[in-house]
Amino acid sequence: MPRKSRDEDPKFQQSLADDRLFVGTVFRNPPPGFLYDLALKEGYAGRKCAIASNGALIAYSGAKTGRSPKDKRLVQEPSSQDDINWGDINIPIGEDAFQRNLDMAIGFLNGRQSLFVIDGFAGWRGANRIKVRVVCARPYHAMFMTNMLIRPTDEELANFGEPDWVIYNAGQCPADSHIKGVTSKASVDINLKSRQMVILGTEYAGCMKKGVFTILNYLLPKQGILSMHCSANEAIDTGEVALFFGLSGTGKTTLSADPDRRLIGDDEHGWDDHGVFNIEGGCYAKTINLSAEKEPEIYQAIRFGTVLENVVYDPLTHEVDYDDDTITQNTRASYPIEFMPTAKVPCTGTHPNHIVFLTCDAYGVLPPISKLTPEQAMYHFISGYTAKVAGTEVGVTEPQATFSACFGEAFMVWHPTVYAKLLKEKIERHQASCWLINTGWTGGAHGTGTRIKLAYTRAMVTAALSGSLNKFPYQTDAVFGLSYPTHVPNVPRELLNPEASWADPAAYRQTAEKLAGLFIKNFDQYRDQADADVLSAEPVLNRQPV
């Protein structure tokens, strides 16, 4: 059992915050069975961890069942302040305030009887990887980051040395809103200068994962490497790589889990001069409405060693009810990528041949599949559109457009155009085809139309990646100027033309122009830094169909 006290491990003593951590028992990189044992003894907020009938560890994150984007802070200091796109996403906090939060976290961790230390890597390409150390008090958090970081070999662990970054997770300890820059009981702070991250007041494990991603979203572009919020897979026979960009709920994880392709990764990647590489060592899949029929690969990956987060289960059989959203709709499973039967390890690939942007259009006006020009690709990448459906939040009675630049604005540090220019350069150099796929509604908006079947979306993705769509004619829609094929194997023809799928063409046109206006309004914030060719891809109101 990898268990050492501070006095027995001088390397650990030297690694943490000027020797201020003095907990007697430290569990370094313990195995899953040991973490299960401690987690099952841990009661929290009226809920106890449990073992699901499939062997996964069921854990609960308390009041916070999702990220707290309004509580994320970046330290404003001279070495990085001119690089950061400050605003509602990257909110500044002072160095003194960060130090007070760090002191509070260390004080809390010092009050524990024992701590967990997880060492791992972020980035599968050796030259670009960073060494990350996580210090936490909950076995569930230790298990989560064991899955999500790239697990070192025994030799790598023996020679791990000092980490590049340290995450201090004191999520059980509320933040102090009297500290300048702290506005709630939660504060998630990243200091690019000291290479430290502090978590207070939230026990949602995803904050650690996305914190690492935020760090690399700063570091990689400085090296000319594009960091991407996307999944990636490759063809088994040719090795051709496809990237899938998309916000939560658009199908990024589901569509990349293709039994006929190898999975490189489900969420975070880099693209350098050699090709693409996964940043993570695991997957973090949404499990709401998960079934063996619709998503067999993900369903089978949930077993011993997986963390099931905030799910509901039968207390007698311990079978998980994946349809139950009593606790949250954001139920999740965290597992090592090797648990996916189609995983490619090491998780790297060649330069992408296809780039797919996924959107769940609840307005029901975008074509189910469109082939994008390079200019359109940049426009839609910077826009990062999807839509919330009515009923998912209080007061939402009709579809609401959501725009998140680069399909991951919450984690981007530089201005979105920095990432867009890197993507454009790489697309042009490697001649990648770009596609926009709508996994949302057709025949009307949410409440009137129907959700596009997953089987049809899979068929469209397969046709696009195989090159078979090159032999069919295309039409152009009347508002967005998007070219869509008139035929896709195994997909009804009437589905492909969004206007024809509506019973009322006038209602379609009115809704399409409404959404187009939202695109135009959203892009106003980037207009002064966007190239003229990108602006030429903007929707045109009152455009005549082609």
Query: Which residues form the catalytic set?
Result: 67, 210, 229, 248, 252-253, 267, 332
Q: How far is CA 120 from CA 165, 175, 498, in A?
A: 10, 27, 47
Q: How far is CA 201 from the centre of its chain?
A: 21
Amino acid sitting at position 228: M
Q: Residues, the chain, total?
A: 546
Phi, psi torsion values for 378, nearest 5 degrees: -65, -40
Beta carbons of 364 and 452 less than 8 angstroms apart: no
Q: Is the CA virtual torsion 179, 182, 183, 188 positive or negative?
A: negative
Beta carbons of 301 and 333 less than 8 angstroms apart: yes
Half-sphere exposure of 301 (CA within 13 A, CB side): 31
Q: CA 285 to CA 539: how far, in whole Å? A: 33
Beta carbons of 145 and 206 less than 8 angstroms apart: no
Ramachandran class of 428: left when φ > 0, alpha when ψ lies in -120 to 50, beta otherwise: alpha
57-59 β-sheet, strand order = 50-51, 57-59, 307-309, 332-336, 282-286
- For the chain, how many helices (H) and strands (E)? 15, 33
Run of H or E residues at 518? helix 505-523
Q: CA 189 to CA 292: how far, in whole Å? A: 39
Give 399's DSSP letter: -
List 243's β-bridge partners, or say none: 232, 355
Residue for token pair 């790589």:
241
